[in-house]
Amino acid sequence: MNVSVDALNVTAGSRKLLQYVNCSFQAGQMIALMGPSGAGKTTLLNSMVGRASGSIGGTVTYNGHSLVHARSCIGYVTQEDIMYETLTPRENLTFAAAFILPSLPHAKRQQAVEDIIEKLKLQKCADTVVGSPGLVRGISGGERKRTNVALSMLGQPSLLLLDEPTSGLDSKMSDSLMKDVKEIALEGCTVLATIHQPSEAVFRRFDRVLLLRAGQVAYFGPVAELRDVLLGLGVHCPPGLPLPELLLEVLEEGQEERQQQLRQLSLGKAKAKDEQPEAKGFQRAGWPRQLGILLRRELVNLKRSKGLTVVRAAQSVASSLLIGWIFVQLERNMSGLQPRLFSSFMLVFSQFLFAVLGVVNAFPSERAVFLRETQDKLYHPATFYLAKVCIDTAMQCFFPLLVLVISYPLIGLNGESADRILLFYVIMAVVSNCGAGMGFMVSAAVPSVSLALSIAPGLMMPQLLLAGIFTKVEDLPQPFNALSYVMVARYAVQATVTNEFNCIPKDGCDQSWHASPEDQCGSSPCDFCCTDAEMSAAGGICPVLSCDDAIKFLNMDEVWPSGGTHDETVAYNIIALLVLLAFFRLQGLNILMMSYRRATTGSALPCKCRCPARARSAIDTE
Ligand SMILES: Nc1ncnc2c1ncn2[C@@H]1O[C@H](COP(=O)(O)OP(=O)(O)OP(=O)(O)O)[C@@H](O)[C@H]1O
């Protein structure tokens, strides 16, 4: 691809990061982008793919087209190695290939992956988990870098931008990597790579050098002519001293005259031919296919990071056992009413708590990969979110099942009919999903896991205080009463309590019935009863015989909708929870999209691209 950069300016606030950068690259050239730290090398690469922050002036054309038309033909390897650390290089490449090469039959797509593994000499580490430096042992730094380059090369880009591809590699590995990159350039791909202190061998692989200083082009010319250029400037070039170092020395303070001469030499640069190759349609995977690939990748990721799932399951089991043990086999007498209320609410609320804390790290840990892949147009951010929500919903429905099985019989909660048990599970599952929705919102809004983890506990306090369990919601002063309407806990309490105290009408239960001292409430035909002590304390008449009495006794009778049946109350509160859940999920998507838009400047969402011919023909002819 021929690239022409004309009068490119990038300004952030009052700072000029790039000033009138002019240069052009011919298809198949390999260009070394050099300059002191902070010279603007990364800014130049970012602005070439529409990722630079700040205001941008000037133009960059790709075979005469704008970025929108060329985006999918550009591979960008950033300084950081961005990929899924839970997957192996082969898996990372296979999933990327599924997005990029959807039209290839499976076998041919897999062959493309194997070819790239071979080309970048990743065979030995292809099935080792990438790992995380210092945390999980995985492939070496050089192999990570190669995998990163391989990911960008998979779509056979016509322009490959590499930001410090050799950083962290020894000279042998650097040379070997750049040799591979050179082969790609020889196939017709234009390569622009920032490079620090390259060895002579690595430097010689480049065709041209673009030297930046303080955001301006200091030199742009052929590597082969560099020695003569330096000699012409009066620089002593003893054999054995690497040319790149001598070039950078010219940029030091006190060499202004030489810098001026050097700049003059670059002005006569050859203009790249803006040839306009025949447009070729290049289709990325459609969204249903994107969703399928993302779901499969989520599942593999879930399997690899099963520690998190095991911890969440263990939390659910442990909290069920703890709550079940504390409130074991509650009596159906008056003193058992309050514990019945607390235990059922605690079971539901613990699911909310675990869900918030469980997903709060979901996005920060994947942000870099998400941004890279969405900026590379592998999929739409909403599809990524939908895949996450699908898998997460299944998880949030599974954990409450554990709680139900363990604690419901242990405590002796309302098991009069299957409806009561099923509804208790539904309430827990919806509340758990609300927690996950809220956790994801936080997770998408903040830049780091630690910040997300410190915000999450703060969300619990208002939920607890405004739930109506310590103070009736009607008695809450404004604005807390109004605020309680958006609290998950408010609807969770009402639904849980009403469901627990929703009983089938009993025959033979009237005010005159009371338990004998030996039998206590065992033979009571009523829903609840009083012990002798409770009866005499209440003046000889047991005030709590039916479920309705119990709700009144607990001060939880002012339910919504007023005057409705218990079934209606449970249903309305579950609907309210579902509305909150939909709100959290949509807000999560909204925040994710904002995060995506913040990171993406200058490029539009899915574009039809016109890739110039390079090895793309190998794909198109399949
Ligand atoms: N958004 C921004 N706002 C303000 N300054 C910025 C911004 N982005 C980059 N800079 C500054 O612009 C200058 C060029 O940054 P850039 O990352 O392009 O340098 P570089 O040549 O790639 O450096 P290095 O070799 O150290 O990676 C730096 O001084 C950097 O601090």
- Please give the distance, rounded to the nearest whole angstrom, from the Cα atom of residue 38 to the centre of ligand 1: 5
Going by DSSP bridges, is the β-strand pair 30-34/208-213 parallel, antiparallel, or unpaired?
parallel
Residue 511, classified by CB atoms within 10 Å of its CB into exposed (0-12), middle (13-18) or buried (19+), is: exposed
CB 313 within 8 A of CB 406: no
- Please give the distance, rounded to the nearest whole angstrom, from the Cα atom of residue 80 to the centre of ligand 1: 15
Read off the pLDDT of residues 134-172 as tens digits, 9 standing for 90 and up. 677 888 888 888 898 888 888 788 889 998 888 777 778
393 vs 575: CA distance, rounded Å: 17
- Please give the distance, rounded to the nearest whole angstrom, from the Cα atom of residue 167 to the centre of ligand 1: 17
- Please give the distance, rounded to the nearest whole angstrom, from the Cα atom of residue 215 to the centre of ligand 1: 9
| Closest residue to atom 3 of ligand 1, CA basis | 12
Say whether pLDDT at 74 is over 90: no
Say whether pLDDT at 366 is over 90: no
Phi and psi (nearest 5°) for 256?
A: -60, -40
161 vs 174: CA distance, rounded Å: 16
CB 45 within 8 A of CB 25: no
| Closest residue to atom 27 of ligand 1, CA basis | 37
**Quick check: CB of 216 below 6 Å from ligand 1?**
no
Whole-number Cα distances in Å, 227 to 182, 230, 235, 284 = 21, 5, 9, 45
- Please give the distance, rounded to the nearest whole angstrom, from the Cα atom of residue 41 to the centre of ligand 1: 8
Angle (CA) 30-279-208 rounded to 5° is 10
3.30.70.360, 3.30.56.10, 3.40.50.300, 1.10.10.60: CATH of 3-79+163-277: 3.40.50.300
Read off the pLDDT of residues 425-458 as tens digits, 9 standing for 90 and up. 999 999 999 999 999 999 888 878 888 888 888 8
Residue ranges of alpha helices (H) inside 412-503 are: 418-445, 449-465, 480-483, 488-500
227 vs 240: CA distance, rounded Å: 12
| Closest residue to atom 6 of ligand 1, CA basis | 12
Q: Which residue type sits at 538? A: A
211 vs 194: CA distance, rounded Å: 10
Say whether pLDDT at 595 is over 50: yes
Query: Residue range 32-53: average pLDDT?
Result: 86
**Quick check: CB of 43 below 6 Å from ligand 1?**
yes
SS3 512: coil
Q: Which of 11, 43, 55, 76 to mutate to test the pocket of ligand 1 (most atoms within 8 A of CB)?
A: 43
Side-chain-side CA neighbours of residue 383 (13 Å): 22
| Closest residue to atom 18 of ligand 1, CA basis | 40
| Residue given tokens 């990597």 in the structure block | 177
Of 49-63, 410-424, 489-503, the range with the lowest mean pLDDT is: 49-63
Read off the pLDDT of residues 321-336 as tens digits, 9 standing for 90 and up. 999 999 988 888 888 8
**Quick check: CB of 14 below 6 Å from ligand 1?**
no
| Closest residue to atom 20 of ligand 1, CA basis | 38
Higher pLDDT, 435 or 65: 435
Ligand 1 atom closest to Cα of residue 35 = 21
Both structure tokens of 159: 């322009």
| Residue given tokens 């793919």 in the structure block | 49
The ranges assigned to domains in the chain are 3-79+163-277, 288-503+559-599, 506-545
**Quick check: CB of 17 below 6 Å from ligand 1?**
yes
Kindly report the pTM of this predicted structure.
0.80
SS3 207: coil
SS3 216: strand
